């Protein structure tokens, strides 16, 4: 899929401001389309929406309510944002103008999702090393991100050089990293 | 109020706590300060080019009389989402004190 | 409060501030939180609380012992009242002391650490461990001094904390067998530990800036919550001994138990210097107060460096001077006094290596601010800007070329372009 494809796929949706396709579980931007006047940082937005969708999914699972067909709707003063799972490996976030009618928005979303889904690549997604994903999560959510690696090194006593290659951390190292991430974020566990 | 620039976000080390407007420099600072004091503000600084006035709720106005720059400091107990609204109220306070204060 | 203002003095020529015989400095909440966070990262939250509260107790005891004597507070009630008045003057919030000879309780409102933590981090992360170790140690010291108890005979803990989303901060004090306490580093010891003040580049301008700011700062009092605001930032008049004891004891613990992690803990304490320069100097430079007293900033390198050095002197960090400055190439800063080296020398003896983490890293940060920030555009001093300056683009090497903690006559740091 190319951004040209997305640009074409959204042509008949005037109230749409942006589309982000996020590859899961790593919350990496796969593709995006922005209306010309937007200056959003697409990688960041895609990552946060991926985390949001995952958190919703886990929350619903804990209620025994999960279905692959769910849709998350966010309403802010400026935007209407809808998130939907495209496949097990991709999530789509669509940002509409706030004034758009919800019914029309849902219709547009349904059509857009069908177009995009049919053009998704079929490939085997390899989950990246957990150490890498934990560090990326920390860089997104930890306070003082400029100091995160130093803080982890000090808490775990793992050398900085090892933490700079998180893909090479052994099981014990990843476990220490995860425990420390939970300490820093004040979480009981990371849902990654 | 004519000559008062629209409210905009100013430099702050606390999220959205400080806002800015600029006043005309020809207004009578003493008169305006007096009116703010009558509204309950407390004058906290006697520097020739600076007025710092504290609102009873803890917000502040820091005003450079020589340039007209005003920093509206919303107290940090105000939730972040409400700070702009509070700044706007303080802005209106200031605007109401400016009427007829130009020589 | 007029009594306390009257007790605030300076060491002539050294730009160091004292309340009675106890040195204090101005630091903002960003610095305070980062400094204490580093202790927690090094030692774990529980041990860190112990280290912090003990350091607070020792430093506050030194302060209170002196202040009660100078103010003529003789009875326990008078002494507790004085301590209760001193706490907000320091910008630490308000503390109600409900303690007696056997210990007791203290209740805190708007305690600086918990209040500041909630403001800065509360919407992003949860915290499960109390944070007001300074208030706890202060309460212990106040009770010891009020009832003439031996030093270290009270222990303190925080039973509930605003930062853990509990409704109030409550501190518990209980008697214990008096622990050994370090000898306070006295004003005289600091005087013995500083060098002869010298003049550097732009001395007149830096001196004038420092003097103007000092006059302004001393006039700022705490509000009814015990918070001190000036230049649009919240500051504390905090005890240098607290910062030093916590930092050095932590570093020594790491040097002993995990020497490989020593460079990391030193770098994190040094990072506090970046945090201070960015948030404190930055906000002061862009404040209406600055504009009124000094004028709007043009943003030239020498102007910004001189301004920051003037600010640091006014905040009680010591007599910092600019020895050499070549824009885009080099800054050499020197000081005949700072709040780190004389303390280290007196408390721990001569060091084999430089120990002025704050001074050296603040110098590097000042150089970064002078070169990489477009001051006339009045940028938002937010985390995004901080990241861009201090995570991804520090183009300066830093070397402490002299340090009084090592026995040199002054402290000096050379910042050079990479």
Between chains, do A154 and C124 touch, taking CB under 8 Å as contact?
A: no
pLDDT tens profile C43-59: 999 999 999 999 999 99
pLDDT tens profile C238-286: 999 999 999 999 999 999 999 999 999 999 999 999 999 999 999 999 9
Chains touching chain A at 3 or more Cβ pairs under 8 angstroms? C
pLDDT band at A79 (very low <50, low <70, confident <90, very high): very high
pLDDT in the model for residue C172: 98
C349 membership: H or E segment, kind and range = none
pLDDT in the model for residue C294: 93
Burial class (CB in 10 A: 0-12, 13-18, 19+), B19: buried
What gap in Å lies between CA A21 and CA A115, rounded to an integer?
A: 13
Residue C198: strand, helix, or coil: coil
Note the ipTM here.
Answer: 0.94
Per-residue pLDDT at A68 exceeds 80: no
Between chains, do C234 and B70 touch, taking CB under 8 Å as contact?
A: no
Chain C closest-CA separation from residue A17 CA (Å): 24
Can you read off the two tokens belonging to residue C235? 């500051």
B37 close to C (CB below 8 A) = no
C19 membership: H or E segment, kind and range = strand C16-19
- The mean-pLDDT minimum among C92-106, C177-191, C277-291, C378-392 falls in C378-392
Between chains, do A150 and C128 touch, taking CB under 8 Å as contact?
A: no
Between chains, do B62 and C293 touch, taking CB under 8 Å as contact?
A: no
> What is the DSSP code string of A112-161?
HHHHHHHT----PPPPPPHHHHHHHHHHHHSSSGGGHHHHHHHHH---HH
What gap in Å lies between CA C86 and CA B72, rounded to an integer?
A: 29
Q: Which residues of A touch C264 (CB under 8 A)?
A: 150, 153-154, 160
pLDDT band at C379 (very low <50, low <70, confident <90, very high): very high
Q: Are C112 and C95 in contact (CB under 8 A)?
A: no
pLDDT tens profile A125-166: 677 899 999 999 998 889 888 899 999 999 999 999 999 999
Q: Which residues of A touch C38 (CB under 8 A)?
A: 154
pLDDT band at A121 (very low <50, low <70, confident <90, very high): confident
What gap in Å lies between CA A63 and CA B23, rounded to an integer?
A: 56
User: Nearest-CA residue of chain A relative to C270?
Assistant: A147
Q: Are C260 and B36 in contact (CB under 8 A)?
A: no
Between chains, do C386 and A146 touch, taking CB under 8 Å as contact?
A: yes
The structure tokens 């709040």 sit at C339
Per-residue pLDDT at C225 exceeds 80: yes
C120 close to A (CB below 8 A) = yes
Between chains, do C42 and A151 touch, taking CB under 8 Å as contact?
A: no
Q: Which of B11, B83, B87 should we substitute to test contact with C (largest number of C Cβ atoms within 10 Å)?
A: B11
pLDDT tens profile C165-222: 898 999 999 999 999 999 999 999 999 999 999 999 999 999 999 999 998 888 888 8
Per-residue pLDDT at A7 exceeds 90: no
Q: Which residues of C touch B49 (CB under 8 A)?
A: 292-293
Helix axes C76-89, C45-71, angle to 10 degrees: 120
Chain C closest-CA separation from residue A147 CA (Å): 8
Per-residue pLDDT at B15 exceeds 90: no
Q: Which residues of A touch C271 (CB under 8 A)?
A: 146-147, 150
C123 close to A (CB below 8 A) = no
Chain C closest-CA separation from residue A3 CA (Å): 28
pLDDT band at B2 (very low <50, low <70, confident <90, very high): low
Rounded to two decimals, what is the model's pTM?
0.89
> What is the DSSP code string of C218-271?
HT--B-TTS-EEETTEEEEEEEHHHHHHHHHHHHHHHHHH-GGGHHHHHHHHHH
Average pLDDT over residues A86-105: 90
Work out the angle at residue C266's Cα, subtended by the Cα atoms of residues C265 and C271, and round it to the nearest 5 degrees: 95
Average pLDDT over residues A98-124: 86
Q: Which residues of A touch C267 (CB under 8 A)?
A: 150
Q: Are C183 and C150 in contact (CB under 8 A)?
A: no
Which among A146, A154, A185 has CB closest to C261?
A154
Between chains, do A146 and C120 touch, taking CB under 8 Å as contact?
A: no
Q: Are C227 and C112 in contact (CB under 8 A)?
A: yes
pLDDT tens profile B21-79: 999 888 888 899 999 999 999 998 878 899 999 999 999 999 999 999 999 999 989 99
Chain C closest-CA separation from residue A154 CA (Å): 6
pLDDT in the model for residue A40: 87
CB-based touch B/A (3+ pairs, under 8 A): no
C390 close to A (CB below 8 A) = yes
Beta strand pairing status for C233-239 and C22-28?
A: antiparallel
Interface contacts (B, C; CB < 8 Å): 68
The number of beta carbons lying within 10 Å of the beta carbon of residue A64 is: 6
Q: Which residues of C touch B78 (CB under 8 A)?
A: none
Which among C219, C229, C283 has CB closest to B11?
C283
pLDDT band at C30 (very low <50, low <70, confident <90, very high): very high
pLDDT in the model for residue A77: 87
What gap in Å lies between CA C241 and CA C134, rounded to an integer?
A: 12
Chain C closest-CA separation from residue B2 CA (Å): 22
A182 close to C (CB below 8 A) = no
pLDDT in the model for residue C167: 87
Q: Are C134 and C92 in contact (CB under 8 A)?
A: yes
pLDDT tens profile C109-128: 999 999 999 999 998 899 99
C170 membership: H or E segment, kind and range = strand C169-175
What gap in Å lies between CA C332 and CA C397, rounded to an integer?
A: 12
Per-residue pLDDT at C373 exceeds 60: yes
Q: Which residues of C touch B50 (CB under 8 A)?
A: 288-289, 292-293
Q: Which residues of A touch C124 (CB under 8 A)?
A: 141, 143
pLDDT tens profile C296-346: 999 999 999 999 999 999 999 999 999 999 999 999 999 999 999 999 999
Chains touching chain B at 3 or more Cβ pairs under 8 angstroms? C
Average pLDDT over residues B72-99: 92
Can you read off the two tokens belonging to residue A165? 């290659």
Q: Which residues of C touch A151 (CB under 8 A)?
A: 37, 41, 268
**In the predicted model, what is the mean pLDDT of chain A?**
88
Burial class (CB in 10 A: 0-12, 13-18, 19+), A122: exposed
Between chains, do C380 and B11 touch, taking CB under 8 Å as contact?
A: yes
Chain C closest-CA separation from residue B13 CA (Å): 6
Q: Which residues of C touch B15 (CB under 8 A)?
A: 382
Interface contacts (A, C; CB < 8 Å): 52
């Amino acid at each position: 899929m190319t951004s040209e494809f997305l640009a074409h796929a959204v042509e008949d949706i005037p109230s749409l401001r942006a589309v982000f396709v996020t590859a899961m579980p790593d919350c990496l931007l796969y593709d995006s389309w922005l209306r010309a006047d937007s200056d959003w940082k697409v990688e960041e937005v895609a990552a946060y929406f991926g985390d949001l969708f995952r958190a919703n999914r886990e929350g619903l699972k804990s209620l025994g309510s999960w279905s692959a067909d769910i849709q998350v709707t966010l309403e802010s003063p400026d935007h209407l944002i809808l998130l939907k799972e495209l496949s097990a490996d991709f999530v789509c976030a669509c940002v509409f103008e706030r004034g758009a009618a919800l019914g029309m928005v849902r219709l547009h979303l349904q059509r857009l999702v069908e177009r995009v889904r049919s053009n998704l690549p079929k490939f085997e997604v390899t989950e990246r090393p957990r150490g890498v994903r934990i560090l990326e999560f920390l860089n997104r959510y930890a306070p003082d991100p400029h100091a995160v690696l130093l803080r982890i090194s000090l808490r775990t006593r793992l050398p900085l050089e090892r933490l700079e290659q998180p893909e090479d951390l052994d099981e014990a190292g990843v476990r220490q990293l995860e425990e420390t991430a939970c300490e820093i974020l004040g979480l009981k566990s990371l849902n990654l | 109020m004519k000559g008062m620039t629209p409210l905009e976000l100013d430099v702050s080390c606390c999220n959205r706590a400080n806002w800015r407007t600029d006043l005309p420099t020809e207004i009578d600072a003493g008169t305006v300060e007096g009116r703010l004091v009558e509204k309950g503000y407390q004058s906290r600084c006697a520097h020739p080019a600076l007025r710092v006035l504290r609102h009873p709720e803890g917000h502040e106005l820091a005003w450079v009389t020589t340039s007209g720059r005003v920093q509206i400091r919303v107290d940090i107990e105000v939730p972040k989402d409400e700070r702009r609204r509070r700044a706007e109220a303080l802005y209106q306070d200031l605007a109401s004190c400016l009427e007829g204060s130009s020589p | 409060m007029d009594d306390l203002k009257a007790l605030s003095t300076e060491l002539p020529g050294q730009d160091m501030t004292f309340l009675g015989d106890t040195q204090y400095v101005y630091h903002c909440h960003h610095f305070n939180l980062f400094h204490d966070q580093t202790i927690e990262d090094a030692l774990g939250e529980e041990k860190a609380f112990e280290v912090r509260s003990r350091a607070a107790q020792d430093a506050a005891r030194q302060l209170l012992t002196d202040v009660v004597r100078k103010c003529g507070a003789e009875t326990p009630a008078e002494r507790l009242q004085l301590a209760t008045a001193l706490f907000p003057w320091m910008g630490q919030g308000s503390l109600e002391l409900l303690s007696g000879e056997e210990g007791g309780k203290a209740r805190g409102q708007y305690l600086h650490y918990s209040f500041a933590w909630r403001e800065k981090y509360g919407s992003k992360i949860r915290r499960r461990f109390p944070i007001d170790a300074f208030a706890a140690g202060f309460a212990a010291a106040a009770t010891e001094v009020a009832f003439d108890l031996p030093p270290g005979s009270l222990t303190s803990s925080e039973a509930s904390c605003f930062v853990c989303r509990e409704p109030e901060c409550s501190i518990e004090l209980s008697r214990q067998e008096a622990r050994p306490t370090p000898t306070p580093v006295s004003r005289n010891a600091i005087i013995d530990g500083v060098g002869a003040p010298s003049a550097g580049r732009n001395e007149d301008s830096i001196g004038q800036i420092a003097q103007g700011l000092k006059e302004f700062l001393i006039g700022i009092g705490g509000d009814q919550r015990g918070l001190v605001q000036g230049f649009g930032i919240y500051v504390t008049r905090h005890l240098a001994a607290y910062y030093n004891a916590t930092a050095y004891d932590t570093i020594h613990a790491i040097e002993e138990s995990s020497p490989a992690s020593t460079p990391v803990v030193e770098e994190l304490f040094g990072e506090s210097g970046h945090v201070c320069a960015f948030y404190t100097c930055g906000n002061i430079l862009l404040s209406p107060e600055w504009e009124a007293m000094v004028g709007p900033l043009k943003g030239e390198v020498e102007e910004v460096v001189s301004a920051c050095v003037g600010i640091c002197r006014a905040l009680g960090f010591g007599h910092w001077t600019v020895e050499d400055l070549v824009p885009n190439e080099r800054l050499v800063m020197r000081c005949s006094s700072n709040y780190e080296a004389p303390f280290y020398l007196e408390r721990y003896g001569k060091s084999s290596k430089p120990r002025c983490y704050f001074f050296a890293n603040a110098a590097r940060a000042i150089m970064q601010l002078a070169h990489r920030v477009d001051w006339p555009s009045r940028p938002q001093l937010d985390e995004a800007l901080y990241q861009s300056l201090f995570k991804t683009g520090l183009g300066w090497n830093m070397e402490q070329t002299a340090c009084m903690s090592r026995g040199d006559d002054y402290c000096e740091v050379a910042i050079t372009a990479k």
